[in-house]
Amino acid sequence: MTGRGFSLQDADPRSDEELVDAANRGDAGAFEVLYFRYRDWVVSLAFRFTRNRDDALDVLQDTFAYLLRKFPGFRLTARMTTFLYPVVKNLSLSARRKRARYVSDEDALTALAAPDASADASRKQLAVVLAGLSDAHREVLLMRFVDDMTLHEIAAVLGVPLGTVKSRLHHALSALRKDKRTREYFEPS
């Protein structure tokens, strides 16, 4: 969702690497394109961790302030989402600590899933089952299937072996498959 009616990412054909190069040369417009390209993903990820709209918006600004300070001289050696993920996560966890609000894992996921009234029943059930997963399993599941990171990228970001990522993913999917509330996702349609 956006506050304006257009997305710069659709209008600019340059790759992230090209935009980074341009920003290194002092092109503020290139940085702006990067911002709009990743803005919604960053704020969604921040909200996933903070469960607070204002904190998520603060993390959004802080994330891009952090990225901005890298210029000139920034080298993009991974995908932008892979680079930004730990930044957003750390800023979000700091925001939560500052707010001094304890949000249990269960609360977090229950809230994450607070599907709106129009969400269908299966999505609501999915939210409840997700809340029952451990932080580690749920995080890997979302990084892989929502943030679209490869397993190697997840392993690098989390600082764990590749096999551990696979193990956590297997466990998360197995839990969803076995739970009668989410089993239908795995049944042939």
Partner 1 sequence: MRDTDDSRREEPEPIAPQRLKEDLAALSRAGFPVPADVDDAVRAMARRHFSARKRVRHTVGWLAAAAAAAAVILAVLWTSPVLQRSISPSAMLQDIDRSGRVDILDAFALARLVENSTAPRREWDIDGDGVVGRRDVDAIAMTAVSLNKGDLQ
Chain residues binding partner 1 by CB under 8 A are 1-4, 23, 26-28, 31-32, 35-36, 39-40, 43-44, 46-48, 53, 56-57, 60-61, 64-65, 68-69, 71-72, 112-113, 115-116, 119, 122-123, 126-127, 130, 136, 141-142, 144-146, 151, 160-164, 166-171, 173, 176, 182, 185-186
Alpha-carbon distance of 20 to 52, in angstroms, equals 30
Please report how the helices 105-112 and 28-50 are oriented relative to each other, as an axis angle in degrees rounded to 10.
120
Q: How far is the CB of 13 from partner 1 (least distance, A)?
A: 20
Q: How far is the CB of 89 from partner 1 (least distance, A)?
A: 14
C-alpha 168: how far from chain center: 17
Q: How far is the CB of 12 from partner 1 (least distance, A)?
A: 15
Q: How far is the CB of 64 from partner 1 (least distance, A)?
A: 5
Please give the angle made by the CA atoms of 163, 139 and 32, to the nearest 5 degrees. Answer: 110
